[in-house]
């Protein structure tokens, strides 16, 4: 399936959410009311960040539900190729990734490439007793993942969790899903705070993964929200201007075509 970058209009500097490509039905083009305090409009008083987030989550979930699956699959291929162009991803001995839901960008191509090169891949698994997620190493996505909490694929229960302290090191690269991002690296999650806890104290690159229409001019952020160092879509690789220890920003162009994946990197010693 070909890449759909030529079908996707760049994100407009407006408070209205752009319609995702391949959506089954149109979405009203009116701006979000919660953004009128920023962009001008009928609201004059500031709105609490939590209220903004709830309204924005509802809006984006509605649009994601209207997105054709084949469109999302093609976008996942484009995003994965762009991620694989980042030197930090190719060189990292450890990749902290995720198993995509039906409404998230699938990065399985990146996961499989890292495993082929002999790197370590860790994915989140829900710990019901602690009510949080823990990262667990896998060797084979097909054999090591089962349906878990919230119906999301996660590592099998018998696989041991990783030491969180090791994953906070600068040589671990994190790929992070989300409902929305902005060019400053702010991220809107689903509201559970799970990734904010996973990413607390992380020194390595934190790469937000999104469809291009999910990159908005502004995403409401609170003090506890962890900022991304880079945001990657099928059309753009954006480095946060506020974070300097991030992978190098690459020139924007349509979904990159690469003839080869990451070359094997020298083995890096890690305490396990």
Collapsing DSSP states into helix, strand and coil, what is residue 95?
strand
Q: How many CB atoms lie within 10 A of CB 6?
A: 9
CA angle 81, 83, 86 (to 5 degrees): 115
Q: How far, CA to CA in Å, does 69 sit from each of 1, 24, 66, 78, 174? A: 12, 10, 9, 15, 25
pLDDT at 24: 44
- Return the beta strands (E) in 116-266 as ranges: 120-127, 132-138, 145-147, 153-155, 172-176, 180-181, 187-188, 206-209, 230-232, 237-239
pLDDT at 50: 85
Partner residues linked to 120 by β-bridges: 94
Mean pLDDT, each 10-residue run in order, the chain (272 residues): 39 43 42 33 58 90 82 94 97 98 95 98 96 96 95 97 96 97 94 92 97 95 90 95 47 46 42 31
What are the tens digits of pLDDT across the range 171-220? 999 999 999 999 999 999 988 889 999 999 999 999 999 999 999 999 99
How far does Cα 173 stand from its chain's mean position? 12
pLDDT at 66: 79
| CA proximity to 195, closest of 160, 228, 161 | 228
pTM (two decimals): 0.74
Structure tokens at 49: 């960040």
pLDDT at 143: 97
């Amino acid at each position: 399936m070909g890449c759909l970058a030529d079908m996707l209009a760049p994100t407009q500097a407006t408070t209205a959410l752009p319609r995702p490509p391949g959506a089954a039905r149109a979405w009203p083009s009116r701006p979000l009311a919660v953004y009128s305090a920023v962009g001008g409009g009928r609201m004059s008083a500031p709105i609490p960040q939590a209220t903004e987030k709830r309204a924005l989550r509802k809006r984006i979930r509605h649009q994601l539900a209207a997105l054709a699956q084949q469109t999302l699959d093609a976008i996942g291929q484009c995003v994965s190729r762009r991620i694989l162009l980042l030197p930090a991803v190719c060189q990292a001995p450890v990749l902290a990734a995720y198993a995509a839901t039906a409404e998230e960008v699938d990065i399985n191509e990146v996961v499989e490439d890292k495993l082929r090169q002999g790197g370590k891949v860790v994915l989140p698994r829900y710990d019901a007793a602690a009510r949080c997620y823990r990262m667990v190493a896998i060797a084979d996505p097909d054999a090591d993942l089962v349906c878990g909490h919230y119906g999301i694929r996660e590592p099998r229960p018998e696989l041991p969790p990783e030491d969180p302290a090791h994953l906070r090191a600068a040589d671990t690269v994190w790929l992070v899903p989300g409902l929305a991002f902005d060019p400053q690296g702010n991220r809107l999650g689903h509201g559970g705070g799970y990734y904010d806890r996973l990413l607390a104290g992380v020194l390595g690159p934190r790469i937000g993964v999104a469809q291009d229409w999910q990159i908005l001019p502004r995403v409401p952020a609170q003090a506890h929200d962890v900022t991304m160092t880079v945001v990657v879509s099928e059309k753009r690789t954006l480095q946060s201007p506020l974070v300097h220890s991030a992978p190098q920003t690459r020139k924007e162009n349509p979904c990159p075509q690469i003839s080869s994946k990451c070359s094997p990197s020298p083995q890096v010693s890690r305490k396990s």
